[in-house]
Amino acid sequence: MLLFFVAVCLSLLLSPQENKKYFYPNLPIGNNSVGLIKVEGIINKADEITSKIDVFRKNPKIRVLVIFIQSRGGGVGPTQEIVSAIKRFKKSGKQIIASLGSVATSGGYYLASATDKIYAYPGSIIGSIGVLMMLPNAEELLKKVGVKMTIIRSSEHKDMTSPFRTMTKKDREILRLLVDDIYTQFVEEVSIGRKLKKQDVLKIADGRVFSGKRGKTLGLVDFMGTRNDAIMEAARLSGINGEPRVIELKIKKSLIPSFSSIINTFPSWLRGDLLINNNHILHYVWN
């Protein structure tokens, strides 16, 4: 425990801010290369993933990109930012293929729906098309410990998400409209990306999850296959004969792990990955 405490303190004090411009490939990039980006864990930030997509987009030797997704989703903002980077990549005339891991739900599936082709395992868990807003309420707890909050607000709904008071009916109606708006954006993106009718997407967009096999039947997935299958398809699209050279972009990091990386190693049932670097109220996440 003492060593853990020391490691946490050192990581907070000494871990440098990473300069996202300093990427380096794991192998030399040649004409037989296929780019690979991994999106793993809760999507709380977008800058590293979007930067990698843009680096591959600007490299003429990379004509197809594979994005491997192992995520149950995350914040609405970073998810939509990564989708924008995917669209920029496609607009440049290049193709991008999604390979879904054991779980690619909500925001994870949102990313996949923006790509050209989707591979999934038959047993992958996908879907969960929907929006989640999580707002804690500590009002009763504060009463028990004898703490009372004084809130001075400019207007009635300025503190509608405050954890220090019970939400009013009008507050709930306003936030419901917000959630519905974000939900509609999700449905429309899936409809466009997957070339499905909006009413067909709405029939399955109630937060439920599907197996990869079932997702293929519903039009949410194109092919059953592994990440290697997706990479080989990318090689075929690039005109590469034989095994392609798979290129990943790395960032040189401190030898001392960051506090958030330590927290994110906690078992998922502790929700450690939702505690750190999470400034989002609205989530595309399977919870």
**Which of the residues are catalytic?**
106, 158
CB-CB contact of 74 with 283 (8 Å) = yes
Q: Nearest to residue 148, comparing CAs of 165, 168, 166, 167?
A: 165
CA distances from 284 to 72, 107, 182, 200, 237 (A): 8, 5, 9, 20, 31
Residue 275 CA, chain-centre distance (Å), reads 16
CB-CB contact of 265 with 7 (8 Å) = no
Kindly give the residue spans of alpha helices, DSSP state H, lying in the chain: 2-14, 47-58, 76-91, 107-113, 139-145, 169-194, 198-204, 212-218, 227-238, 259-263
The first and second tokens of residue 109, run together, are 């599936």
The radius of gyration computed from the CA coordinates of the chain, to the nearest angstrom, equals 21
Beginning with the edge strand found earlier in the chain, give each strand of the sheet holding 73-75 in spatial order. Answer: 73-75, 282-285, 132-133
The CA distance from 240 to 222, in Å, is 22
CB-CB contact of 263 with 272 (8 Å) = yes
The CA distance from 38 to 96, in Å, is 13
CA 111, 113, 114, 116 torsion-angle sign = positive
